[in-house]
Amino acid sequence: MDRRGAALILVTVLLVVLTILSTALISSSFSENGFARRYLESTQAFWLAEAGMNQALNELKINPTLQFIDNTKLGQIGGYSATVDSTGLINLNGNINVTAYGFVPFNGPRVERGIQVIINRTTFTPNNFYNDTVLYSTGDVVIKNNAFEINGNVIYGDNLTVRETDNIHGNSTQVTNATLPALNFEQLKYISRQQGYYYNGTASVPPFPTEFWNDQAAQIPNVFFWDNTSPLTLKGTVGGLFIVGGGDVTTDIRIIGNVIVRGCIYTTGQFKIDGGGSALNIDGSILASNATINGGGNLSYNQTYMLTMQDWSSNATVTVTSWKDMNNTYTLY
Amino acid sequence: MRAFTLTEALIAFFILSLLAGGIFMVTNIAILSWNSNRAMLEVVQEVRQAMDGMTREIRQSNSPPGSESPEFEFSIPDVTNKIKYYCDNDKKQLIREHPPGTKRVLANNISFLNFTPTASVLKIQIRATKTIRNVPHYFSLTEEVKLRNG
């Protein structure tokens, strides 16, 4: 029997069998590896989304107008981003939707995971002083004129000197070691710049906003920010949030003559009225390091204005009321 | 050419059968262990997958069970009905029920399922038992989940 050609056939058959076997093995291990990698990256993306959410919630405590966190790289693995669903510039308190995404890798992501959270933001109110407090001074309050009427409560840190006590239609309370509330000055500066009411390094008399609201529907007030060391003198009819000094500058503010103010005045220095008349009207509130009133007029508390100012407090608590994983494992719902 | 004697053939056959027997035994053990490993691996994968799905969903739940319990029923945001996880002890299956009446088997061969609450952290313990050729094989998995809405 001639068997010389059998070896080739045998070897070929054997090779084919081995090739099929090894191909199956390799492809199955490749797909297993792919599953494992996808699972790993999905888990990494989830924790990146958590990181983004934590950063957003932390920033929201001090920044009431946070809109989004840009794509941020974290480590060598991937990155995150976040968006805050706020309709206007001021969506400060109450329920806010925050969405955070984690993705892997940072450039050209293969995997993305998302978290959606509803938070409740509440600003911190020291001693509840925003309530009905029309005049808040961390130092003295001196009222020299007997024709100056105050409708609301007065809080003072050191001494209260009033010529006519009956003119204060509210409670006068001493709070030793009183401090001015910390406002979010950086955001206030940003908004006043956008509105054209930010003054820095100029002593010229600016045009003042005349109404409190810049956009009442969006609840955005006019923000007038006087970031100078020279004192500011208010004239005519003005409206808005007046931040005088603020941050690290101490500046005084003066009112001379019949000025109408619709809004809140916040000064790190002295608030002073010189020679007002019966037509001097302040509808809002005054927060100052000390206050001297040397003229007639009216000062009345306005809760809407005060609450708007309270929204700019830089110290808020953020509580998660609803937490949701945006990618669900089960498709049953 | 002379043929083999009977003795030679018998000796050769004996040696060959010894060798074949040895190879068969080794191969058989290898195949059996391969099969049981593969069967166990399937169990492990199933349990892991079930645990992963459960933790992802339970992470969104509002409140932990009052005390240690073999089942857990909870709500998550934007989902109307409650979701329930429990073990069908007759069929040895881990079940997810949502909405009530709609059951889904997440894993088989489950011999133990337990939820232990500590504040807003829930410990989930699963044990799978599979008997392969009269030998029981066990796989246990424990995870702790922080309940984000808890």
Provide mean pLDDT across the span A90-117.
84
Q: Which residues of A touch B149 (CB under 8 A)?
A: 320, 322-323
Does some domain include residue A19? Answer: no
Does some domain include residue A209? Answer: yes
Peptide bond into A105 cis (omega under 30): yes
Q: Which of A41, A120, A321, A322 to mutate to test the interface with B (most CBs of B within 10 A)?
A: A322
Residue % of chain A over a pLDDT of 70: 89
Task: Report the gap between the CA of B55 and the closest CA in chain A (Å).
Answer: 10
Q: Which residues contact B18 (CB under 8 A, 6 or more apart)?
A: none
| pLDDT value, residue B1 | 66
* Interchain CB distance below 8 Å, B60 and A330: no
Nearest CB to B60; choose among A39, A118, A324: A324
Provide mean pLDDT across the span A178-182.
81
Query: Is pLDDT of A65 > 80?
Result: no
Selected residues 97-126 of chain A with any CB under 8 Å from a CB in chain B: 118
Q: Residue A292 and residue A277: Cα distance in Å, rounded?
A: 15
Q: Which residues of A touch B48 (CB under 8 A)?
A: none
| pLDDT value, residue A6 | 84
At A126, the pLDDT band (50, 70, 90 cuts) reads low
Question: Are A156 and A290 in the same domain?
Answer: yes
Question: Are A296 and A321 in the same domain?
Answer: no
Q: Which residues of B touch A39 (CB under 8 A)?
A: 52
Tally: H helices and E strands in chain A: 3, 24
Angle formed at CA B68 by CA B63 and CA B71, multiple of 5 degrees:
75
Question: Are A171 and A256 in the same domain?
Answer: yes
Nearest CB to A325; choose among B56, B96, B98: B56
The DSSP bridge partners found for residue A32 are none
Question: Are A256 and A176 in the same domain?
Answer: yes
Query: Is pLDDT of A122 > 80?
Result: no
Place of tokens 């500046």: A251
Task: Report the gap between the CA of A328 and the closest CA in chain B (Å).
Answer: 8
The model's pLDDT over B64-80, given as tens digits with 9 standing for 90+, comes to 788 889 999 998 888 88
Question: Tokens at residue A14, please?
Answer: 């054997």
Question: Are A84 and A150 in the same domain?
Answer: no
The DSSP bridge partners found for residue A234 are A255
At B62, the pLDDT band (50, 70, 90 cuts) reads confident
Ordered DSSP codes for A173-195: EE-TT--PPPB-HHHHHHHHHHH
Provide mean pLDDT across the span A84-96.
62
Q: Which residues of A touch B96 (CB under 8 A)?
A: 330, 332
At A123, the pLDDT band (50, 70, 90 cuts) reads low
> Is there a contact between A133 and A150 (Cβ–Cβ < 8 Å)?
no
Does some domain include residue A6? Answer: no
Does some domain include residue A26? Answer: no
Question: Are A242 and A95 in the same domain?
Answer: no
The residue of chain B nearest to residue A329, with distances taken between CA atoms, is B53
At A129, the pLDDT band (50, 70, 90 cuts) reads low
The model's pLDDT over A204-241, given as tens digits with 9 standing for 90+, comes to 777 899 999 998 887 889 999 999 888 899 888 999 99
Weakest-pLDDT range from A59-68, A256-265, B59-68, B77-86: A59-68
| pLDDT value, residue A312 | 73
| pLDDT value, residue A316 | 73
Q: Which residues of A touch B76 (CB under 8 A)?
A: 324
Interface of B to A at Cβ within 8 Å reads 52-53, 56-57, 59-60, 76-79, 96, 98, 102, 104, 148-149
The model's pLDDT over B96-112, given as tens digits with 9 standing for 90+, comes to 998 888 899 999 999 99
Query: Is pLDDT of A291 > 90?
Result: yes
Does some domain include residue A3? Answer: no
**ipTM of the shown complex:** 0.80
Tally the C-alpha atoms within 13 A of residue A66's C-alpha that lie toward its C-beta.
25
Q: How far apart are the first and last CA of chain B?
A: 91
Question: Are A180 and A106 in the same domain?
Answer: no
Q: How far is CA B31 from CA A21, A69, A139, B131, in A?
A: 16, 56, 89, 17
Nearest CB to B60; choose among A118, A323, A332: A323
How many CB atoms lie under 10 A from the CB of residue A31? 10
* Interchain CB distance below 8 Å, A323 and B148: yes
Reduce the secondary structure of B99-140 to three states and give it as a string: CCCCEEEEECCEEEEEEEEECCEEEEEEEEEEEECCEEEEEE
Q: Which residues contact A150 (CB under 8 A, 6 or more apart)?
A: A134, A135, A143, A167, A168, A169, A170, A299
Question: Are A111 and A132 in the same domain?
Answer: no
Question: Are A274 and A139 in the same domain?
Answer: yes
**Number of domains present in the structure of chain A:** 2
| Dihedrals phi, psi of A52, to nearest 5 degrees | -60, -40
| Dihedrals phi, psi of B15, to nearest 5 degrees | -60, -45
> Is there a contact between A279 and A298 (Cβ–Cβ < 8 Å)?
no
Does some domain include residue A300? Answer: yes
Query: Is pLDDT of B54 > 50?
Result: yes
Chain B touched by A177 (CB under 8 Å): no
Question: Tokens at residue A240, please?
Answer: 């808005």
Query: Is pLDDT of A90 > 50?
Result: no
Higher pLDDT, A86 or A255: A255
Question: Are A51 and A86 in the same domain?
Answer: yes
Quote the mean pLDDT of chain B: 91
Q: Which residues form the domain of A190?
A: 126-310
* Interchain CB distance below 8 Å, A332 and B104: yes
Question: Are A303 and A158 in the same domain?
Answer: yes
The model's pLDDT over B2-26, given as tens digits with 9 standing for 90+, comes to 788 999 999 999 999 999 999 999 9
Q: Residue A257 and residue A242: Cα distance in Å, rounded?
A: 18
Chain B touched by A331 (CB under 8 Å): no
Chain B touched by A323 (CB under 8 Å): yes
pTM passes above 0.95? no
Provide mean pLDDT across the span A85-104.
73
Weakest-pLDDT range from A25-34, A85-94, A169-178, A285-294: A85-94
Does some domain include residue A9? Answer: no
Place of tokens 């792919």: A34
Question: Are A219 and A81 in the same domain?
Answer: no
Q: Residue A277 and residue A281: Cα distance in Å, rounded?
A: 9
Does some domain include residue A215? Answer: yes
> Is there a contact between B54 and B107 (Cβ–Cβ < 8 Å)?
no
